[in-house]
Amino acid sequence: MSTVHALPRSVTITRWIARIWSFLVFAVAILEIFVPDPNATEPVPLADWFLLSLWGVAILGVLVAWRWELVGGIITIASMFVRELAWVMLKGHWLVNFLIVWSFVLPPAILFLLAWGLERKAKKAQFRGGVFLKRQELNHDGI
């Protein structure tokens, strides 16, 4: 009996959609970091550096998800949530425009979590199927 477990196609497709999307998120983040804002007239305040670093943690979470889907997805979602709470606490209001960032950064994290869950479910089903087959074979052989 082969020990190689084939993943369902849905897991592979979900994982690659999340990876491609996360690469695009990373590329946009790199552009934001290295392309200066032509309209900036004063230095970035310390509070904004903190808020930007939380966004950076979310981007790193998406990259971590390439290797550890559960951990990376949780890091991304948690840091985006903490960033929004920190913004409200530091600035005193919330901007609806942040939903644009959420709609760009969170879907790959959710897809990574979905791929992790689907893979785990498929592995459990394969394991249970293998145990079931072994028991059936044992009973069929008369042992």
Cβ-contact 113, 70 below 8 angstroms: yes
How far apart, in whole angstroms, are the C-alpha atoms of residue 97 and residue 125? Answer: 43
- C-alpha span between 72 and 22 (Å, rounded): 11
Any alpha helices (H) in 35-97, and if so which ranges? 46-64, 69-91
The pLDDT of residue 5 is 59
By C-alpha distance, which of 122, 33, 21 is closest to 72?
A: 21
Q: Is 96 exposed, middle or buried (0-12, 13-18, 19+ CB in 10 A)?
A: exposed
Q: What is the pLDDT of residues 32-90, one digit of tens each?
A: 888 877 787 788 788 888 888 999 999 999 999 999 999 999 999 999 999 999 989 98
Torsion of CA 41, 96, 50, 48, to 10 degrees: 20
pLDDT above 90: percentage of residues in the chain: 48
Instruction: Please write the tens of the pLDDT for every residue from 82-103.
Output: 999 998 998 888 888 888 888 9
> Where exactly are the structural domains of the chain?
9-36+44-141
Evaluate if pTM is beyond 0.85.
no
CB of 57 closer than 8 Å to CB of 86: no
**C-alpha 38: how far from chain center:** 32
Neighbouring CB atoms inside 10 A of 141's CB total 7
